[in-house]
Amino acid sequence: MDVLLFGCGRVGRAFCELLCRKSDMLKRASISLVGVATKSRGCIYNPHGIDVDDMLRWESITGRIDALSRGGCSVIQDSNEMLRDINYDVLVDCTPSDFDLGEPARSIIIKAIQKGKHVITANTAAMSLYFDEIMDEALEMGVKVLYEATVLSGTPLFSLVRDGLPGCRIKRFEGILNGTCNYILSIMEMGCSFDEALLETQRRGLSEQNPWVDIDGLEAAAKTVIVAKSLMGLNVGMSQVHVKGIRNVTTQAIEDAKRRGGKLKLLSRVEINADDLDITVNPEILSMGHPLAYLEGFSVGALLLTDMIGEICVSGSGSGPKETSYSLLRDLLSLKGR
């Protein structure tokens, strides 16, 4: 299975590093990276498989992806050309999330689907904005679109429901979906102010370029929409989510939560009531009996209420690029296994 990677930022790079680390496994599974396209650092193609280790080494010296033009690698001028002309089986999309328009991810994904290629994406924005269009197009073309990396990073959620909860209806969803917010709230619990906590997050390079996408709950809301559509079959959009981020959370509020024996968390919630639907992203006090209350730092998790076996909770200790890139690999392997 030949893979074309679009985007080589933090997640794309972590994906490449993972491919290096797991090269034996990938060889056994006949999975190889044949193309890498970036916006400003060049594009390369090698039908026999790119030496990823070498590519990363050269990139770290030259700052260019296309510095590696040995061993059958050819430099491509335009990323559109790659989508159109080269041979590949799966597009792995690691382009940055744009929460206004969902571009360029949407266009790239749709083009790949229309060429009959499978798509694996980490792009939360595009999937939350164009879920229906993308899935309809994929259905029509008979290809798969997998998006495990868009929610809970490396922790399996969609594959858990697909393979682990077949036949179950998800009646309620609660999640701590944004690791950055959870990290900030965790630091605040140790006595920092919001500003100090944010600074610490940025200083450690843990937040996105625009941290307000996290902090104001936009990223969590997008993830919640993907969950509502994908796991609960709900016809909803970003406009239906009542979002309140953590921008105005005070040390006082954190202390209040503690005094009440709980923890303040940015909680995503999808609740189906008798005749309406409640989708929220809100700072909420969780009692210490709540399965998500113990999640600290960059941990993320989800609590699903099912019709058949009650509540199921899944969580993971990490939500960085390394974990996210693992979900891309998982999707790749599951595509291979089909």
34 is written with which tokens?
Answer: 């044949």
Q: Where are the beta strands (DSSP E) in 207-308?
A: 242-243, 262-272, 277-287, 300-306
In the complex, least distance from residue 129 CB atom to its own copies, rounded to whole angstroms = 26
Quick one: 108 or 328, whose CB is closer to its own copies? 328
Q: Give the range of 115-123, 201-209, 216-224, 326-334 binding its own copies by CB under 8 A.
A: 326-334
Among 63, 116, 164, 191, binds its own copies (CB under 8 A): 164
Annotated binding site for L-homoserine: 208
Residue nearer to its own copies on the CB measure, 30 or 239: 30
CA angle centred on 310, ends 305 and 314, rounded to 5°: 60
Nearer Cβ to its own copies (240/315): 315
Active site residue 223: yes
Residue type, 219: E
**Shortest distance (Å) from residue 55 CB to its own copies:** 21
As measured in angstroms, the least distance from the Cβ of 173 to its own copies is 15
Q: With binding defined as CB under 8 A, does residue 123 bind its own copies?
A: no
Alpha-carbon gap, residue 69 to 71, rounded angstroms: 7
Q: How far is the CB of 310 from its own copies (least distance, A)?
A: 4
**Comparison of 101 and 309: residue with beta carbon closer to its own copies:** 309
Contact assessment for residue 182 and residue 153, using Cβ atoms and an 8 Å cutoff: no
Q: Indicate which single residue of 96, 154, 217, 321 sits in contact with its own copies (rule: CB under 8 A).
A: 154
Detail the residues annotated as belonging to a binding site: 7-12, 208
Exactly one of 22, 111, 115, 223 is catalytic; name it. 223
Our finding on whether 316 is near its own copies (CB under 8 A) is yes
CB of 18 to its own copies, least distance (A): 8
CB 268, CB 177: distance < 8 Å: yes
Alpha-carbon distance values, 4 to 44, 109, 170, 255, 269 (Å):
10, 12, 34, 49, 35
How many other CB atoms are found less than 10 A from the CB of residue 310? Answer: 8
**HSE (CB half, 13 Å, CA atoms) of 89?**
12
Task: Specify the amino acid at residue 73.
Answer: C
DSSP state of 39: S
- CA nearest 51: which of 26, 76, 28? 26
Task: Note whether 165 and 306 are within 8 A (CB).
Answer: yes
Interface of this chain with its own copies, residues 256 to 315, rule: CB under 8 A: 288-291, 293-294, 296, 301, 308-315
Of residues 111 and 322, the one with the C-beta less far from its own copies: 322
251 binds its own copies (CB under 8 A): no
Number of residues that bind its own copies (CB under 8 A): 41
Asked if 323 and 302 count as a contact pair (C-beta separation under 8 A), the reply is: no
Do 314 and 295 touch, CB atoms closer than 8 A?
A: no
Contact between 5 and its own copies per CB under 8 A: no
Give residues 11-70 in contact with its own copies (rule: CB under 8 A): 18, 22, 25
Residues recognised as catalytic: 223
Please report, as ranges, the residues that interact with its own copies according to CB under 8 A: 18, 22, 25, 153-156, 159-160, 162-167, 288-291, 293-294, 296, 301, 308-318, 322-323, 326, 329-330, 333-334
